[in-house]
Amino acid sequence: MTAALSSSTPLVFEHVSHWYGDVVAVNDISAVVEPGITGLLGPNGAGKTTLLQLAAGLMRPSGGTVRVFGESPVKNPGIFRHVALVPEREALPGMLSARAFVEARATLLGLRDVHGAAKAALEMVEMDTVADRAVAGFSKGMKQRTKLAAALVQRPRLVLLDEPFNGLDPRQRLQMMQLLEARAAEGVAVLLSSHILEEIEGVASRILVMLSGRLAASGDHRTLRRMMTDRPHTVRIRASDVRTLAARLVAQPAVMGIDVEGTDAMHVRTTDYTAFSRLLVRAAQGDTSSGAANAAPITLYDVQPTDESLEHVFAYLVER
């Protein structure tokens, strides 16, 4: 029988710090992880692995508190059974089959129906048809899914994954994303780390950005972007008369630079995207206060920011 949990919130960090000797790996992090998929984004050495290990209860934080369903996860079997960590580097014993590996974990966890639980977990990760083959012959994606099956065998409500997409090809990546989305749709909280931004952008509804042990930013992709409206943006514009449009825009304070590309496109760098958007419309309409020498209207075909990926948001945060 499962004892009632103290809280329905999967994971809360309150002023959590952790250091190894002189190295501060995690520095005063406060964050809440809700059901669904949360991305933990940061470059190598940012402290992601340490934070995941703290969430899994593998060690006690040097400062602050970690709460998993309202309780400390350290040496807490009542919580331990609800949390699974899939480490980045975990050697799978090559001679074992995927089924034997997942069953071994089910046995270690003391599950009553070891075979049934392993079968269900292998089905969840779509490894049931190859489950009796030796792990040694598996692709990286199959190994990752076997590790995930071992983590899911206890039906955890919080799954922590350290760089689960590392080394996967695009097809395997997509498959892994779909598996995690399916678990999230069942109400499981998934916290996954990555240093590759597109992976997180595609799958996580919320992102925690870690830099040098600190939480640099959090929110969804759009919120993160909005927080940084003052950073330089590049916008590609296609219009009926780009040369005239460029002439109308070039002297404006919000415009840092213009590169005309062929006859119908140009790239504009701006420090203030909101002001620029208003200015662009006025300039296209021929409003002379926007610097237009002639007032002929120009048709805008397409206005696309070229640097809206998380890669740029992240680069901005790192360089700040």
Ligand X SMILES: Nc1ncnc2c1ncn2[C@@H]1O[C@H](COP(=O)(O)OP(=O)(O)OP(=O)(O)O)[C@@H](O)[C@H]1O
User: Residue numbers of the site for ligand X (CB under 6 A)?
Assistant: 20, 23, 25, 42, 44-50
Question: Residue 57 in contact with residue 72, Cβ under 8 Å?
Answer: yes
Distance of closest approach, residue 96 Cβ to ligand X, in angstroms? 26
Distance of closest approach, residue 42 Cβ to ligand X, in angstroms? 5
The set of long-range contacts for 196-199, using a CB threshold of 8 Å and a minimum separation of 24, is 196/165, 197/41, 197/309, 197/310, 197/311, 197/313, 197/314, 198/309, 198/310, 198/311, 199/39, 199/165, 199/173
Distance of closest approach, residue 6 Cβ to ligand X, in angstroms? 27
Residue 235 neighbours by CB under 8 Å, 6+ apart = 267, 268, 270, 273, 276, 303, 304, 305, 306
Q: Which is nearer to ligand X, 50 or 218 (CB)?
A: 50
Distance of closest approach, residue 281 Cβ to ligand X, in angstroms? 43
From the centroid of its chain, how far is CA 88?
15
Q: Which is nearer to ligand X, 2 or 44 (CB)?
A: 44
Q: Which is nearer to ligand X, 17 or 49 (CB)?
A: 49
Q: Which is nearer to ligand X, 91 or 293 (CB)?
A: 91
Q: Which is nearer to ligand X, 21 or 137 (CB)?
A: 21
Residue 300 CA to residue 223 CA, distance in Å, equals 27
Pairing of strands 158-161, 83-86: parallel
CA-wise closest residue to 308 among 221, 230, 237: 221
Distance of closest approach, residue 48 Cβ to ligand X, in angstroms? 4
